[in-house]
Structures are given as structure tokens and as C-alpha cells.
Copies of this chain bind each other. A is one copy, B any other.
Amino acid sequence: SPQSCVIDTLINGKIQAAIDSKVHSILAKRRLICTTAFSRGANAYCPSGYLATGCACGMACGSWDIRGDATCHCQCANIDWTSARCCKVAIVG
């Protein structure tokens, strides 16, 4: 009936407007967050919740691999340090 249509449209309009503003404000707070995990020796471990996105090694070594999604392992001999770059998506602020 015409009357219920009006209410329908009214509610739909309210819902869309509320969702738009809310979703964008929450989404804007979800960012990429990164940190670095440095360690002596040939392995470096990202903090819980983070994933390794890249690794650096001592001895100018560019040969590394990532184990278990969050551990950097440097493969050259006599590696003195390893550094993991660790990132995640989380709410900021």
C-alpha cells in the first residue's frame, strides 16, 4: 500500500545513509601496519599476528626464505644477524 511504501523508502534511505558514513569511517581506520624484528644469528621472528613480507641478512647476503609465514631465515654461511620486515592489517586509532 502507498503508506507502507513511504515507510519503506524512509527506512531504506536511513539505512543507506547510516551505513555509508559508518562503514567509511571504520574502514579508514583499518590500515597496513609494519614493524621490524631484528635478531642475532640466521633467524628472525615476526611478532604474533604479523606476517613476514621481506627479510634482510648480515654479510651482504640476499639469499633468504620465509618459514611458517612469519620467520625469516638467512641461508649464507656465518650469518651474524637477520632482520624480518613484518606487516598486518589492523585498526589504527
Residues on A facing B (Cβ under 8 Å): 8, 11-12, 14-16, 18-20, 22-24, 26-27, 30-34, 36, 51-66, 69, 76, 83, 85, 87-89, 91
Contact = CB atoms under 8 A, between A and B. Distances in A.
A15 B27 CA distance: 17
Nearest to A69: B34
A27 B11 CA distance: 23
Given A15-B18, A22-B19, A54-B54, A32 B89 contact: yes
B56 A55 contact: yes
Nearest to A11: B14
A12 B12 CA distance: 11
B16 A36 contact: no
